[in-house]
Structure 1
């Protein structure tokens, strides 16, 4: 195992911790809900959904979190301002876990951000996301300022320069915008673009965390769902390869994982809790860092 050179930030979002040196804080598991095609959705435009089914999905994730020691968060999506506002209000009613507030356009996110501040859930929200276009949209920056939201994902990628330097430059720009918007707890997603990207993005996370010391992660699920597999070796090949794609980022220091639909949480908690336990044991034996007793190391190996 290893120790990052920069002092590592540990954030607290509504009681859930994220960040630090490898092995200290378990990976934050971020499951998506109300995404396009989600079975709980009834009308994506208006935000109508099956409340009992959504509540059951949240309960299931929270039980998995309790069993494994991996904290939970929810990437809560809305395709319209009305839908996103409905979804985040519901989630705040049924869980204390962080809510990644995720809308496809700046105007949708901005309106939902104002709403989050109005109903007093700003401390539970992680704005998803600040990106290269945000600095062009005064309405979005002003909405974040007014809302009181102080946590946000910085989607730090430059599609014209996919190198580590390109990601670093994008991050520097995003950090300036985040500061202007009043974000005190920025977390970084260097962006998964191509199918084999998990390994490369894991390396980027490692290097940038070593330099900046702020929590980082990504969404490996984005690559796996695009994978058209030729002549798989076994029947559950996709599941096994998804396990590798999701776990490799943890071994190089990632703090959060947007793992895909909440309805597939059991498989991902199984994978990530094991990866976290190995990382924590390596940090304990090699670096002398000991995790808390609610870490997966002590939850799944007993």
Structure 2
């Protein structure tokens, strides 16, 4: 569809690669496990159903292999204890890279410290450096041994492209330095940019436009949680069936790829089996579209299925 003039960075986390020209490398699927509301998790007892969790991990591995798509697991820790248990469980049962995530800062920092002390730090990323980062989080990231970090471009006051680029470059009035500088001063060279998808009317369009802007301006690998649009669209939930909502969710992911996403935060891990075929199809289309630019696709790529 298009080629970025700027050289596109490629980062390696564990055994996977993220980045490059759109269509060059397969899109990385990032399903979330142990999320808030996940039926297999009991936050009160700090336990989860291990057999069901393992079955979901195996399902992602199967659809990834079938569709020639790499994948990472975003591990949510609802509590600090669940964070440690979740990270260890996923690390022990798959070789795929892992992302530390939680709405609770204490749980995130616990995960950061725990991963740094264990043998999977080299395949772990942190979600995320954002406008709310503070000195405690910066210190923990600087001390950590994990491999990479996600920068979240969400701006709660101004969802425009200009304001969110300012966050990267000078902090946009929220941080003393731009988020890119913060990430690098923490010691990270492997950076994934996620614009942070807003609902309709609150910056949804600019979230998608940021993907191509950031790739054109900085050459950074990108990721997007496109499923946030259908999940926050009230009209859809009132007027559509579960199947129709699922189709909208999948469609949002494919739009993310055509807009410049190298990876997709597809939401609940149960979504992987539905997203994978559509993502593979879009990857084939994008790879086919860049042949005229003299760009070939990776050896292992959904294009093998064409």
TM-score range, shorter chain: over 0.9
Whether 2:124 is the aligned partner of 1:118: answer no
Q: Distance in 1 between matches of 2:241 and 2:88?
A: 43
Q: Which residue of 1 aligns with 2:17?
A: 17
Residues 162, 118 of structure 1: alpha-carbon distance in 2 compared, 3 angstrom cutoff: same
* Long gaps (5+) in structure 1: none
Q: Distance in 2 between matches of 1:202 and 1:22?
A: 14
Q: Which residue of 2 aligns with 1:256?
A: 263
Q: Which residue of 2 aligns with 1:239?
A: 246
Whether 2:212 is the aligned partner of 1:206: answer yes
Q: Which residue of 1 aligns with 2:195?
A: 190
Q: Could you tell which deviates more after superposition, 218-227 or 184-193?
A: 218-227
Scaled by the length of structure 1, the TM-score of the pair is: 0.92
Q: Distance in 2 between matches of 1:39 and 1:212?
A: 40
Q: Which residue of 2 aligns with 1:281?
A: 288
Q: Distance in 2 between matches of 1:100 and 1:265?
A: 16
Q: Could you tell which deviates more after superposition, 149-158 or 272-281?
A: 149-158
Cα root mean square deviation, aligned: 1.8
Q: Which residue of 2 aligns with 1:215?
A: 221
Scaled by the length of structure 2, the TM-score of the pair is: 0.91
Q: Which residue of 2 aligns with 1:33?
A: 33
Does structure 1 conserve the Cα–Cα contact (< 8 Å) formed by 2:159 and 2:206? no
Q: Which residue of 2 aligns with 1:131?
A: 130
Does structure 1 conserve the Cα–Cα contact (< 8 Å) formed by 2:215 and 2:222? yes
1:229 Cα deviation after fit: 3.1
Deviations 1:266-285 (A, max 9, x none): 1111111111111011112x
Query: Of 270, 276, 279, which residue of structure 2 is paired with 1:269?
Result: 276
Q: Distance in 1 between matches of 2:207 and 2:281?
A: 21
Q: Secondary structure at the match of 1:127?
A: strand
Does structure 1 conserve the Cα–Cα contact (< 8 Å) formed by 2:6 and 2:216? yes
Does structure 2 conserve the Cα–Cα contact (< 8 Å) formed by 1:251 and 1:279? yes
1:112 Cα deviation after fit: 1.4
1:235 Cα deviation after fit: 7.7
Q: Distance in 2 between matches of 1:184 and 1:15?
A: 17
Equivalences, count: 296
1:117 Cα deviation after fit: 0.9
1:293 Cα deviation after fit: 3.5
1:46 Cα deviation after fit: 4.8
Q: Which residue of 2 aligns with 1:48?
A: 47
Q: Could you tell which deviates more after superposition, 239-248 or 23-32?
A: 239-248
Q: Secondary structure at the match of 1:186?
A: strand
Q: Secondary structure at the match of 2:115?
A: helix
Q: Could you tell which deviates more after superposition, 194-203 or 252-261?
A: 194-203
* Long gaps (5+) in structure 2: 170-177
Q: Distance in 2 between matches of 1:132 and 1:234?
A: 36
Alignment of 1:89-128 (within 5 A): 89-128=88-127
1:199 Cα deviation after fit: 4.2
Query: Of 134, 138, 142, which residue of structure 2 is paired with 1:141?
Result: 138
Q: Secondary structure at the match of 2:156?
A: coil
Q: Which residue of 2 aligns with 1:166?
A: 163
Residues 87, 10 of structure 1: alpha-carbon distance in 2 compared, 3 angstrom cutoff: same
Q: Secondary structure at the match of 2:106?
A: helix
Q: Could you tell which deviates more after superposition, 252-261 or 190-199?
A: 190-199
Does structure 2 conserve the Cα–Cα contact (< 8 Å) formed by 1:157 and 1:166? no
Does structure 2 conserve the Cα–Cα contact (< 8 Å) formed by 1:190 and 1:218? yes
1:202 Cα deviation after fit: 2.0
